[in-house]
Amino acid sequence: MYFDVSRCIRGSRAGITLISPQNDIIPMSYKLSFECTNNMAKYEALILGLKATIEIDVTHLHIYEDSQLIVNQINEIYNTKDEKLIPYKDLVAKLVACFEEYQLENIPRNNSRLANAMASAASLIPIEVERRETTFAIKNLGTPSIVDENLKMVFVAQ
């Protein structure tokens, strides 16, 4: 799983890319319709990706992110001092407990281009990934994940 965010005048967006061991790709994009900092948006993207992988019964997960701060907070290398981020970190801890094994790794920014593109997307668009056309929809997240821990992801077969 890769995740990234994009912030602009029109708000924040989260992009997630799930890649199966068989190299199947599930790109996801969310518009975050609430005020949040860049780091809050990063946590939202991570939480949304974790929920998506839980929904499809993933048991072993490798997570890649370009934010050293978020990676080191989750991996308990850095303390989480920002009061706004503590509930996010707590929710991530609950979600990662659902996996038999997970690994969160910091990567260079240019290694998560598809997740970044998903975060930057503004409407339904077709994209080509490894010579396959993939269509995705941007979903609107109206409240922070820490408010409603029971948000469910729905995957529609096309």
Mean pLDDT of the chain: 80
Task: Return the domain boundaries, the chain.
Answer: 2-141
Q: What is the sign, positive or negative, of the torsion defined by CA atoms of 30, 36, 42, 47? A: negative
Q: Could you read off the pLDDT of 105-139 as tens digits, one per residue?
A: 988 777 666 656 665 653 344 445 555 545 555 56
> What is the predicted pLDDT for the residue at 4?
86
Q: Please tell me the class of the 2-141 domain.
A: alpha beta
> What is the predicted pLDDT for the residue at 112?
65
pLDDT for 14 beyond 90: no
Q: What is the torsion angle, in degrees rounded to the nearest 10, for the CA atoms of residue 89, residue 93, residue 96 and residue 101?
A: 120
- Kindly report the pTM of this predicted structure: 0.75
pLDDT: which is higher, 158 or 71: 71
Distance between CA 88 and CA 151 in Å, rounded? 14
Query: Could you give the angle at the alpha carbon of 121 between the alpha carbons of 115 and 123, nearest 5°?
Result: 140
Q: Is 154 left (phi over 0), alpha (psi -120 to 50) or beta?
A: beta
Lowest mean pLDDT among 61-65, 73-77, 141-145: 141-145
SS3 52: helix
